[in-house]
Chain A
C-alpha cells in the first residue's frame, strides 16, 4: 500500500475511533456523573489490553461504571465478589461429573468473559489472587487436563478498599505489577454530587410482575450498545499507530531510572512500568484526539502507572512520607523544578 494511502486509512481509522470514544463517553455520562478520569483510565486499559486496579471507598460507582462500559460496547461482563472462602475453581471453573454420560464435563467459571470486575480483590486468599493474576498474565487457564484461551478482549478491573484492611491479603508488589494502571478514586466534587442526588431522586419505580421495585442507576441505560467489539479492535489498532518520539522515550527512561536511585525509594519501577507508561500514553493521546504522545500524557499517567510499582524505604515511611509525595518530589526533580 502506498504511504499516502496508508496514512489516509490510518487517519480515517483514527477519526472513527475518536467518534467511537466520544459515543462511549457520552453514553457513560448518561449513567455516571463525573468520574471522567476513571472513564479515561478504563478506556486506556481496554485499548491497550492492560488491567486496571481501582482503589476507593465503597459507593463511588465503580461497579456501575464497569457494568455501563460493558453494556455500551456490547461486551460480556461478569462480576465476582472476592471473599476469604473463595476458591480458585470458583473463578476459573472446574470439572464436574455428568451423571447422564458418566463423564467429566468442564464448567467454565466467570473468568471467561470480556470484562471481569473482581470486587475487593484483597479479601480473597493468596491462592485465588494468584490464580486470577496468572490468567491475567497468560490469558489462558487450565481446568483439569485441558487448557482454555480466555476470550479477547479480556480485561480485569479489580477494586480494593483502602480503608478496611482487617482480614485482607495485601497484594504483593510482584502481583501489583501485573496491573497496568492503579487508579485511586476520589469523592465527587460538590456540583457532581448534587447532580448525582438529583438524578437519583428522579429514578422512580419500575413495575415488575405484579409489584414494583425502586429503579437504580443500573436501570437508566435502556439504549443498546453504541459500539461493537469490532470498534474496540479498531481502537486497539489505532493506539498502535500513535507516534511515540525518541524524546518521549527518553523522558520515560529517565523518569523510571530516577525511581531506582531516589534515596527514599527501596524498590524502584521495573521496565514493565516504562512499557506501561508508554502504552498508556499512546492510548491517552488517542482519547484526546492526537496521533502522537506528548509529555502531558506522561505526567497525567505517572501516578497511576508508577505509584503501585514503587516501595518506599523504612526511613521514608518513618518520616511520614507517602508514595504520592515521593513521586511528586521525583517529578519535580525530573522536571528541574528543584535545583540539585
Chain B
C-alpha cells in the first residue's frame, strides 16, 4: 500500500522561486523535496507491487493536476475498478485517496480509468501504474458463457406466478362470498322439524284427538293453539302476557282459552272437556288461515 504522497506534477512556481533565494540549508530541504517530487515519476515508470485479482488496494495523498477527477463509468470490459475515497485541495491541484481492485490480471495505468467530473477526458495526467496478478495458473479456462434457453412448456416462473395469483384471488372471493343458509338435504330432518305453524299443529291435534299424543307434547299443543289466535288477531308484537290477556277478552278466542285451562291446568274435576270438539276446528288448519309469523329479530 502506498503511504507516501505521490507528487506527480511539477513543483509550483512560488516554490521554485523560493529554492533559488533560500539559504543553503533551505536549499538542502528543497533539494530533498525536489527529490521527493521526482520520486513518483520513478514509481510511475514501474508498476507497484502486484496485487491479487479482487483484493482492494489503496493509494493515498496522490496529487493530480487539473479539475476534479472521477472514475470512468464501468463496463463489462473494465479490467480495474477505481473508487475515489477522498479529495482535498492541494495548491492549484487536488490531492486524492484512491481505492482500486483488479478484475483481470495485467499491468494498468489507473490514469486511463479516470475522467474529469464534467465528463471530459482526463488529459495531462501522469501515469499511475499498477499491476494485478492472478493466483490461478496461466491458461486457466474461463467459464462457458451463459446462453439463452427456451422457456418451459407453461411459460416458466412468470406464468406460474400468474396461476398462483389467480388461485389466491379465487380463494379470497370464495371466502368473502356471503353464505346462504345450509340447505337441509336430509329428508328425516325436514319431517322432524316442520317449518310452518300449520304443519307443526296438525299432527299434534290429530294425535290429541285420537288419544295418542304423549303428555309431554300437551304443552307444545297448548302453545301452538294459543299462537294460532295471536296470529289471527295480529297480536304477534304484543308481549305474551298482554296477548293472552287480550285473547281472554276476545269473544272467539276466549272459549278456547277457558277450555284449555280446564283441560290442561285445573285440578281434575267432574267438568270434563270434550277434546275432540275443542280441537276439531284446528284438525285440518291451513297455513293461509293463520297470520304471518314474526320474522324480524328484536334488539
Q: What's the interface size class on B, roughly?
A: 20 to 34
Given known contacts A246-B215, A334-B223, is B266 in contact with A299 (CB within 8 Å)?
A: no
Given known contacts A245-B265, A247-B218, A325-B298, is B293 in contact with A296 (CB within 8 Å)?
A: no
For A334, give the chain B residue with the smallest CB separation.
Answer: B223
Residues from 205 to 248 in B contacting A, C-beta threshold 8 Å: 215-216, 218-220, 222-224, 226-227, 230-231, 236, 239-241, 244-245
Tell me whether B265 and A299 are in contact (CB under 8 A).
Answer: no
Given known contacts A254-B219, A320-B299, A337-B294, is B227 in contact with A296 (CB within 8 Å)?
A: no
Tell me whether A335 and B223 are in contact (CB under 8 A).
Answer: yes
Residues on B with C-beta less than 8 A from A337 are: 227, 230-231, 236, 293-294
Given known contacts A299-B239, A299-B244, A337-B230, is B264 in contact with A245 (CB within 8 Å)?
A: yes
For B236, give the chain A residue with the smallest CB separation.
Answer: A337
Tell me whether A247 and B299 are in contact (CB under 8 A).
Answer: no
For B240, give the chain A residue with the smallest CB separation.
Answer: A299
Complex CA gap A14/B240 in Å reads 28
Residues from 303 to 340 in A contacting B, C-beta threshold 8 Å: 319-322, 325, 328-329, 331-332, 334-340
Tell me whether B223 and A299 are in contact (CB under 8 A).
Answer: no
Tell me whether A292 and B265 are in contact (CB under 8 A).
Answer: yes
Complex CA gap A339/B226 in Å reads 14
Interface locus among B7-15, B79-87, B192-200:
B192-200
Residues on A with C-beta less than 8 A from B245 are: 296
Tell me whether B236 and A248 are in contact (CB under 8 A).
Answer: no
Residues on A with C-beta less than 8 A from B230 are: 335, 337
Tell me whether B265 and A247 are in contact (CB under 8 A).
Answer: yes
Tell me whether A247 and B222 are in contact (CB under 8 A).
Answer: yes
Complex CA gap A300/B241 in Å reads 6
Tell me whether B241 and A296 are in contact (CB under 8 A).
Answer: yes
B265 CB contact (under 8 Å) in A294, A319, A340: A294
Does B261 sit at the interface, judged by CB under 8 A? Answer: yes
Shortest A138–chain B CB gap in Å is 34
Does B267 sit at the interface, judged by CB under 8 A? Answer: yes
For A251, give the chain B residue with the smallest CB separation.
Answer: B219
Does B295 sit at the interface, judged by CB under 8 A? Answer: yes
Does B21 sit at the interface, judged by CB under 8 A? Answer: no
Does A243 sit at the interface, judged by CB under 8 A? Answer: yes
Binding site for B on A (CB under 8 A): 243, 245-248, 250-251, 254, 291-296, 299-300, 319-322, 325, 328-329, 331-332, 334-340
8 contacts between A and B (CB under 8 A): A245-B266, A251-B222, A295-B223, A328-B239, A329-B298, A335-B223, A339-B293, A339-B295
Besides A331-B240, A336-B200, 8 other A-B contacts (C-beta < 8 A): A243-B266, A245-B266, A294-B265, A299-B239, A335-B230, A337-B294, A338-B293, A338-B295
Closest 7 CB pairs of A and B: A250-B219, A339-B293, A299-B240, A247-B264, A243-B267, A299-B241, A336-B227
